[in-house]
């Protein structure tokens, strides 16, 4: 049985008594709410629409689509982890042509704002997917999932090297309508995520989506074998949230004007607020959807209340608020006991 949540307000920002404008501007993409779904966690939005009106959130980010149909990786491909999950679904999907005919047409008719996530095994494949989408039209932006193995480079993940990440973005940019915003989805499994963000930005990305899952592994102690058939998988959920917030913070510190979509373990409006304060202009909700399909709508309402209760009249006012000078100064003047407690952290931050 499905239950549909009816919004207690509207995306222009009136939820109960809490008034706050949730609009987000991501380069040329303007959305009436900064709350999106995360790729791979809401398919193309059809099932979620049974739980809430998907036109009332900022938009749907679709499961990454490739050129040809794919069946994904062998099962088992899900395992539980403390405060999260491990998955090795792989890029299962119907291929871009079927996606355009079925999902994209449905999303357009439904009136949902749509960010199409694309993937590929070579830069050329990314380009071909983008070219087919350009012909089809009817979507608002592209998210480029560069966390896939490059079949032309010993399976090295594109997102792990600034040059291969940039090459994919350049190819997608060349094959897309020049007005279409492009977001590069970055992997946290790198030494310096700022390097990758800078590189994709110079290659023509409008902004970045951070973060994709972290590479992880679980051993089944009954079979005494890896829990996943694919051995390793991606860790998601609340366990990765501090890593994600750190990535958003570092990119925002280095690239003050780059649009950022933040994600990783967001379960509540309070969690979403952390990302906004760290520098995200919008956020995506992923794993939470699996145990609460109405999570994006609930989080939207909660974020509105979190912002309003802190005196913000718009989400834009809160973006990067944690970076403000006064806070750093007051933390440096912290009482000595607090300073001692956080000695290691300060050593790291001041590097």
Ligand X SMILES: Cc1cc2nc3c(=O)[nH]c(=O)nc-3n(C[C@H](O)[C@H](O)[C@H](O)COP(=O)(O)O)c2cc1C
Among 122, 236, 281, 301, binds ligand X (CB under 6 A): 236
Whether the CB-CB separation of 134 and 175 falls below 8 Å is answered with yes
- C-beta closer to ligand X: residue 18 or 91: 91
Which residues inside 2-61 make contact with ligand X, applying CB under 6 A?
A: 38-41
Which residues inside 101-130 make contact with ligand X, applying CB under 6 A?
A: 117
- C-beta closer to ligand X: residue 162 or 264: 264
CB atoms within 10 A of CB 42: 26
- C-beta closer to ligand X: residue 89 or 131: 89
Q: Which two tokens stand for residue 104?
A: 């994209």
Choose the stretch contacting ligand X; rule: CB under 6 A; options: 124-132, 196-204, 257-265, 329-337.
257-265
Positive or negative torsion for Cα 74, 75, 81, 87 = positive
The rounded Cα 76 to chain-centroid distance in angstroms is 25
DSSP 174: H
Q: Is 167 in the site for ligand X (CB under 6 A)?
A: no
CA distances (Å), origin 102, targets 109, 210, 228, 306: 11, 28, 31, 37
Choose the stretch contacting ligand X; rule: CB under 6 A; options: 97-105, 129-137, 280-288, 334-342.
280-288
CA 255/CA 194 separation, integer angstroms: 8
| Shortest distance (Å) from residue 16 CB to ligand X | 26
Which residues inside 127-146 make contact with ligand X, applying CB under 6 A?
A: 145
| Shortest distance (Å) from residue 313 CB to ligand X | 27
DSSP 99-144: HIIIIIHHHHHHT--EEEEE--SSHHHHHHHHHHHHHH---SEEEE
Q: Is 88 in the site for ligand X (CB under 6 A)?
A: no
Q: Is 89 in the site for ligand X (CB under 6 A)?
A: yes
- C-beta closer to ligand X: residue 112 or 283: 283
CA 176/CA 322 separation, integer angstroms: 35
Which residues inside 291-350 make contact with ligand X, applying CB under 6 A?
A: none
Q: Is 287 in the site for ligand X (CB under 6 A)?
A: yes
- C-beta closer to ligand X: residue 114 or 212: 212
- For 314, list phi and psi in degrees, rounded to 5: -145, 150
Catalytic residue among 41, 148, 160, 247: 148
Whether the CB-CB separation of 95 and 66 falls below 8 Å is answered with yes
Helix (H) or strand (E) holding 24: strand 24-26
Among 237, 259, 262, 279, binds ligand X (CB under 6 A): 237
The 64-83 contact track toward ligand X, x by CB under 6 A, reads x-------------------
State yes or no: is 148 an active-site residue.
yes
CA 335/CA 321 separation, integer angstroms: 23
Catalytic residues: 148
Residues engaged in binding ligand X (CB under 6 A): 38-41, 63-64, 87, 89, 91, 117, 145, 185, 212-213, 236-237, 240, 263-266, 285-287
């Amino acid at each position: 049985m499905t239950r549909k949540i009816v919004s207690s307000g509207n995306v222009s920002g009136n939820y109960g008594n809490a008034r706050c404008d949730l609009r987000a501007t991501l380069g040329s993409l303007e959305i009436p709410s900064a709350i999106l779904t995360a790729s791979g966690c809401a398919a193309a939005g059809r099932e979620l629409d049974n739980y809430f009106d998907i036109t009332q959130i900022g938009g749907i980010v679709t499961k990454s689509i490739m050129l040809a149909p794919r069946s994904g990786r062998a099962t088992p491909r899900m395992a539980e982890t403390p405060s999260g999950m491990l998955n090795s679904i792989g890029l299962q999907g119907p291929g871009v042509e079927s996606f355009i005919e079925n999902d994209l047409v449905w999303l357009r008719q439904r009136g949902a704002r749509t960010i199409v996530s694309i993937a590929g095994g070579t830069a050329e494949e990314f380009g071909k997917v983008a070219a087919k989408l350009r012909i089809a039209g009817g979507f608002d932006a592209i998210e480029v999932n560069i966390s896939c193995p490059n079949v032309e480079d010993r399976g090295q993940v594109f997102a792990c090297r600034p040059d291969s990440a940039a090459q994919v973005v350049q190819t997608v940019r060349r094959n897309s309508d020049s007005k279409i915003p492009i977001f590069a989805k970055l992997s946290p499994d790198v030494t310096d995520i700022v390097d990758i963000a800078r590189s994709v930005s110079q290659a023509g990305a409008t902004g970045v989506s951070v973060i994709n899952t972290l590479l992880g592994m679980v051993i089944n102690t009954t079979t005494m074998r890896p829990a996943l058939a694919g051995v390793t998988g991606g860790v998601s959920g609340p366990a990765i949230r501090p890593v994600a917030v750190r990535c958003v913070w570092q990119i925002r510190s280095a690239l003050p004007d780059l649009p950022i979509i933040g994600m990783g373990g967001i379960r509540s409006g309070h969690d979403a607020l952390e990302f906004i304060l760290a520098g995200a202009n919008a956020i995506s909700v992923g794993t939470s959807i699996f145990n609460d399909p109405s999570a994006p709508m609930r989080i939207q309402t909660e974020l509105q209340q979190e912002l309003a209760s802190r005196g913000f009249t718009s989400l834009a006012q809160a973006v990067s608020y944690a970076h403000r000078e006064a806070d750093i100064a007051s933390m440096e003047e912290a009482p000595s006991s607090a300073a001692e407690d956080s000695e290691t952290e300060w050593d790291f931050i001041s590097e």
